Amino acid sequence: MGLLTGALPDFPWDTLTPYAQRARSHPGGIVDLSVGTPVDATPQLVRDALTAAADSPGYPQTHGTPELRDAVVRWFARRRGVRGLDPAGVLPTVGSKELVAFLPTLLGLGAGDVVLHPRAAYPTYDVGARLAGANPEPTDDPATRLAEGGVRLVWLNSPGNPDGSVLSVEKLRAVVDAARAAAARDGVPVVIASDECYAELAWDEPWASGGVPSLLDPAVTGGDLTGLLAVYSLSKQSNLAGYRASFVAGDPALVGRLLEVRKHAGMIVPGPVQAATVAALDDDAHVAEQRARYGRRRAVLRSALEGAGYVVDRSSAGLYLWTRPEHGAQDSWATVADLAGLGILVAPGAFYGDDLHVRIALTAPDERIAEAAARLSGA
């Protein structure tokens, strides 16, 4: 019924086609910074783990192998400051996008249920609510909106895509407290799901040295994970977008409900990918190397943008520079057109609910980043 209750929006990147054609006509070719797809090699240790597990004739475990769930528990303790996570509260997913798109449906949400998401946001939060027949609402103040009632699911995104904003422990805790107060008042559970896929890519302080807080941090939860889920993907930190290696973790009871539905639906991460996920989670060195690559690209590109008269707002973490012209308010599509004239393709903020910025990805080889910087400097 969800699909019948409201039309889905057009897939936004299809509307970039004429700008891509213009960028390709540049004598030096296109520099495509419109999507956040990794371009660097998958780490050898991950490929080796995949190969070693390639003889996989039986069905994989929907809940994930014990080794995978234990690796997630270790990773949360070591990298995110979340200790004592129950392995029963870990569930691998086929990439994080499918979980984002189908979580409202898996939770049984429908007509009249409200799903909150950030104002500047990845479009799939909105789409997932529509697929379930629920009502998506953008807000940058979910704690206040929760006090008004009707909310069943809150999506948080920290670090944010597209704007690279980071939520502090205090802000996360305020949302958790508001959701629990609303649930107690109305007698209806409220789920908070935090999309944390860029957490290993922090650039500004205090996040660069202190780490990006997780929704599951005890300082946020007070030791109670009821109704809380954190979503994570290895696509960005480990160049595993092609593996669809992701997971959700948090409240074991809630994860158990998701697991039962996924068993019936056959939503299972392949066994060799589960083995590769373990290898990636247990190795921090390749993550540090990849972060350093992105850091170098970010410095080159940001300097060139600012020298060409652009301002980078927020962008404290993640794979993007949230950018606008320095002088005057210009529609994001006009900025896309300006940059396409230089052979540089970027994504308009209109894709994400913001008409004044463009999202510029760091996911291009060093040579293409340098080429984009040279064009900006020449302009």
At 319-335, the pLDDT tens digits run 999 999 998 789 999 99
**pLDDT for the residue 7:** 61
**For the chain, what is the total number of helices (H) and then of strands (E)?**
15, 13
DSSP string, 232-290: EESHHHHS-GGGTEEEEEE-HHHHHHHHHHHHHHT----HHHHHHHHHHHT--HHHHHH
Q: In what order do the strands lie in the sheet with 347-348?
A: 310-313, 320-325, 358-361, 347-348
The secondary element (H helix, E strand) that includes residue 150 is: none
Residue carrying the six token digits 């805790």: 173
Q: What is the DSSP letter of 214?
A: P
**Structure confidence by residue, pLDDT tens digits, 82-139:** 999 999 999 999 999 999 999 999 999 999 999 999 999 999 999 999 999 999 999 9
**pLDDT for the residue 329:** 86
List the structure tokens of 123.
Answer: 């479009």
Residues contacting 9, CB < 8 A, separation 6+: 123, 126, 127
How many whole angstroms from its chain centre is CA 263?
A: 25
Residue carrying the six token digits 């609510």: 129
**pLDDT for the residue 11:** 74
**pLDDT for the residue 1:** 41
**pLDDT for the residue 221:** 97
Task: Round the average pLDDT of the chain to a whole number and report it.
Answer: 95
Q: What whole-number distance in Å separates Cα of residue 286 and Cα of residue 242?
A: 17
Residues paired with residue 176 on neighbouring β-strands, in sequence order: none
List the structure tokens of 112.
Answer: 């009249």
Please tell me whether the overall predicted TM-score, pTM, comes out greater than 0.85 for this model: yes
**CB 231, CB 194: distance < 8 Å:** yes
Would you say residue 2 has pLDDT above 60? Answer: no
Would you say residue 176 has pLDDT above 80? Answer: yes
Residues paired with residue 321 on neighbouring β-strands, in sequence order: 360
Average pLDDT estimate for 175-194: 96
Would you say residue 3 has pLDDT above 80? Answer: no
Q: Nearest 5°: CA angle at 189, between 155 and 184?
A: 115
**Structure confidence by residue, pLDDT tens digits, 199-249:** 999 999 999 999 999 999 999 999 999 999 999 999 999 999 999 999 999
Q: What whole-number distance in Å separates Cα of residue 130 and Cα of residue 117?
A: 13
The secondary element (H helix, E strand) that includes residue 39 is: none
List the structure tokens of 301.
Answer: 């590109």
CA distances from 233 to 10, 88, 95, 225, 291 (A): 25, 19, 7, 20, 15
Nearest CA to 346 out of 308, 366, 373, 320 is that of 320
Cis previous bond, 159, omega within 30:
yes
Would you say residue 339 has pLDDT above 50? Answer: yes
Nearest CA to 325 out of 316, 314, 317, 336 is that of 336
Fold adopted by 44-283: Aspartate Aminotransferase; domain 2 (3.40.640)
**CB 279, CB 238: distance < 8 Å:** no
**What is the pLDDT confidence band of residue 5, given thresholds at 50, 70 and 90?**
very low
Where along the chain do its domains lie?
A: 2-41+286-378, 44-283
**What is the pLDDT confidence band of residue 9, given thresholds at 50, 70 and 90?**
low
Amino acid 346 reads V
Would you say residue 159 has pLDDT above 50? Answer: yes
**pLDDT for the residue 8:** 67
Q: For the structural domain made of 2-41+286-378, what CATH number should be given?
A: 3.90.1150.10
